[in-house]
Amino acid sequence: MRKAVFGILLVFIVLASGCISQSTPTETSTTSTSPSGGIDFGSYEKGQVLAQWSSLADASRVYVSEGYEDLAKHYFPNAQILPASQYDGGVAILSPADARELLRGKPILITVNDYFGYIVYKFGVKFVGKDKGVFAAFNKDGKAYFVFTGTSKAGAGAAIEYAMELRNGASLRTEDVLRSGEFEGILLKVIGDNNWNGIPDDGEHWYLGSFRSREPFIYYWRIVDGENVTVKGGFIRLVNGSTVYIHALGFNVSVEVKDGTGATLTYVIENTNPSVLNLPEGAETGDTWVKITTSETSFSVVPKDVGDYTVFAFGDHRPDGGTEVPKVFLALRDRMNENNAVFVIDGGDLVYSGKVDEWGELMKEWKWNKPIFIAVGNHEYRGEGINVYHQLFGPTDYSFVLGDYYYIFMNNIENDYGLSDEQWSWLQNELESAKAMGKRPVIVMHAPPKDPRPNGDHGMNPPTARGCWG
Closest CA relative to residue 223, chosen from 237, 208, 244, 209: 244
* CA dihedral of residues 200, 206, 207, 208 (deg, nearest 10): 0
Please report the pLDDT score of residue 449 as a whole number: 83
Please report the pLDDT score of residue 457 as a whole number: 77
Please report the pLDDT score of residue 263 as a whole number: 97
Please report the pLDDT score of residue 20 as a whole number: 29
CA distance 13 to 441: 15
* CA dihedral of residues 170, 174, 176, 179 (deg, nearest 10): 120
Stated pTM of the model: 0.91
Q: pLDDT tens, 420-444?
A: 999 999 999 999 999 999 999 999 9
CA separation, residue 404 to residues 243, 392, 439 (Å): 33, 29, 5
Closest CA relative to residue 411, chosen from 375, 386, 441, 443: 375
DSSP letters of 379-404? TTSSTHHHHHHHHHH--S-EEEEETT
DSSP single-letter state for residue 463: H
Average pLDDT by stretches of 10, the chain with 470 residues? 36 36 36 60 98 97 98 98 98 98 98 98 96 98 98 98 98 98 98 98 97 97 98 98 98 96 97 97 96 97 97 97 97 97 98 98 98 98 98 98 98 93 97 98 92 79 71
Phi (first) and psi of residue 256, to 5 degrees: -130, 135
Phi (first) and psi of residue 109, to 5 degrees: -145, 175
Compute the Cα dihedral for 185, 190, 194, 200 and give only its sign.
Answer: negative
Please report the pLDDT score of residue 469 as a whole number: 61
What end-to-end distance do the CA atoms of the chain give, in Å? Answer: 32
For residue 172, the tally of other CB atoms under 10 A from its CB is 18
Instruction: Please enumerate, as own/partner, the contacts of 272-275 that have beta carbons within 8 Å and a separation of 24 or more.
Output: 272/248, 272/301, 272/371, 273/342, 273/343, 273/370, 273/371, 275/342
Q: Which residues of 174-192 are buried (b: 16+ CB within 10 A; e: fewer)?
A: bebbbbbebbbbbbbbbbb
How many Cα atoms occupy the beta-carbon half-sphere of 448 within 13 Å? 14
Q: Which residues contact 423 (CB under 8 A, 6 or more apart)?
A: 397, 410, 411, 415
CA separation, residue 160 to residues 40, 76, 101, 205 (Å): 23, 10, 20, 16
Compute the Cα dihedral for 190, 195, 200, 201 and give only its sign.
Answer: negative
CA distance 468 to 33: 59
CA separation, residue 250 to residues 72, 267, 326, 444 (Å): 44, 16, 28, 14
Please report the pLDDT score of residue 11 as a whole number: 40
Chain centroid to CA 453: how far?
34
CA distance 368 to 273: 11
- State the burial class of residue 419 (Cβ atoms within 10 Å of its Cβ: 0-12, 13-18, 19+): buried
Chain centroid to CA 121: how far?
16
CA distance 303 to 273: 9
